[in-house]
Copies of this chain bind each other. A is one copy, B any other.
Amino acid sequence: MQPQDFVEELDDLDDEDIDKLPDFLDTEQLTEVMEEADDETRQRLSEHIDDETLLEMFEDMSKDDIVDILGEMEVYRRKRLLNKMKAGDRRIIHTLLQYPDDSAGGIMTTEYIALREDRTCAEALDTIREIGPKTEVIETIYVTDEDRMKKLIGTVDLRDLLSSPRNKKLNEIMDDQVISVEPEVDQEEVAQVVSKYDLQAIPVVSSKGSILGIITVDDIIDVINEEHDEDIAHLGGTSAEEGLDTTLFESVRMRLPWLLVNLCTAFLASFAIKIFEDTIAQVVALSATMTIVSGMGGNAGSQTMSVMIRELATGEVKLSECWKALVKEVLLGAVNGAATGAVTGVAVAIIYGNPFLGVIIFLAMIGNLMVAALFGFLVPLILESLNADPALASSIFITTATDTLGFFIFLGLASAFLPLLK
């Protein structure tokens, strides 16, 4: 059984059973479970493992996993454990703990092979034989310059190392075009770089060029999945932390605030209707038909928004460079509005036996789908430029616009041509 499958089974256990786990597993098994478990299970488990066993487990774990585990502990225990570690390990882990969880520094590991440029291929192979089993990547050897700064100046592919003469120096076979990131870079940006250049690992380098660690592709996949989860959750107006097993109380805490924000926008739309109550009282058919206009605006706005959110996720979008696309989008709103408006207009004219009502809904639909395009395009752009997550907040503003303005346009037109409608 793979440790990942074992960890999956843990999901079905009660908390008390998890608490007892450390008594049933040996240190090696426990290490594998800790490496694969989610944050919550890790935290539970580590509370029931004594300091000595934990330190023994850390020997076989990569530094980034140790940092994650320590990061979730209470400060008191973390300090105690750090003090019991070897000086070298303590220093590395202390440094790693400084970086935010979601930065390149926070997800990097220090288990890589770096060698000075004046080493020979034979020496490099000896080193790989020796420390290879403890590193996360052996396909790439990082080459540093000769002074103490460990400045990263190139990489050597293990393929080239294996096929080069034994006495060649690393700087003769290295590739000096290294793609790297600085430790402060956001993990989402790191993921974009890795997937763009098809890398197996990316080195993290200080502003002065010294190699600090590497980020491996399996951690990058975790980042991509995490961001994906977050986008879907945010588009739906909830939190990525929520799942089927979240408690009722927690779910209320995560979802209610969002619903209350939406309530404000719902009231705004309601006021737009209230202004025209006299008109509705005279032509009651308006109340049944107005929701078609607002609803279709909401749908069209979502379409434009989803295109923009994907564009923003894959790169920078500047209004100055894409105003043509904005013009196209508004034109598209007019075309789709005319098409759906024509269908609706004819249907409404027949159902209510009132051709003028049909014409008004046709015009309102065109107007509201143009509004939807304008807001669907601009709102995500503006939110991104304000460093807010467009996936989280766009829908609120776009729906407010399509609902409020949708009612306003339709009922406004109806009021203007009231004598024809009655």
Query: What is the copy number of this chain in the assembly?
Result: 2
Q: A244 and B287: CB pair below 8 A? A: no
Are B231 and A335 within 8 A (Cβ)?
no
Bound: A330/B129 CA distance, A: 59
Q: Which A98-140 residues have a C-beta within 8 angstroms of B?
A: 125, 128-129, 132-133, 138-139
Query: Chain B interface: which of A22-30, A44-52, A291-299?
Result: A291-299
- Closest chain B residue, CB of each to CB of A237: B303
Across the interface, do A280 and B287 meet the contact criterion of CB distance under 8 Å? yes
Residues in B with CB closer than 8 Å to A287 are 273, 277, 280, 286-287, 290
Q: Which residue of chain B lies nearest to A193 when distances are taken between CB atoms in the complex?
A: B4
Interface 9-mer from A148-156, A255-263, A412-420: A255-263
Bound Cα distance from A260 to B407, whole angstroms: 20
Which A245-296 residues have C-beta < 8 A from chain B?
245, 247-248, 251-252, 255-256, 258-260, 262-263, 266-267, 269-271, 273-274, 277, 280-281, 284-292, 294-296
Binding stretch for chain B, among A13-21, A87-95, A166-174, A307-315: A307-315
A236-B179 contact in complex given A255-B332, A262-B296, C-beta closer than 8 Å? no
A residues near B, CB below 8 A?
2, 4, 125, 128-129, 132-133, 138-139, 158-160, 162-163, 177, 179, 194-200, 217-218, 220-222, 224-225, 228-229, 231-233, 235-238, 240, 242-245, 247-248, 251-252, 255-256, 258-260, 262-263, 266-267, 269-271, 273-274, 277, 280-281, 284-292, 294-296, 299-300, 302-303, 305-307, 309-311, 313, 317, 322, 325, 328, 331-332, 335-336, 339-340, 343-344, 347, 391, 399, 403, 407
- Contact partners of A177 in chain B: CB under 8 A: 2
Q: Give complex CA distance A31, B340 in Å.
A: 47
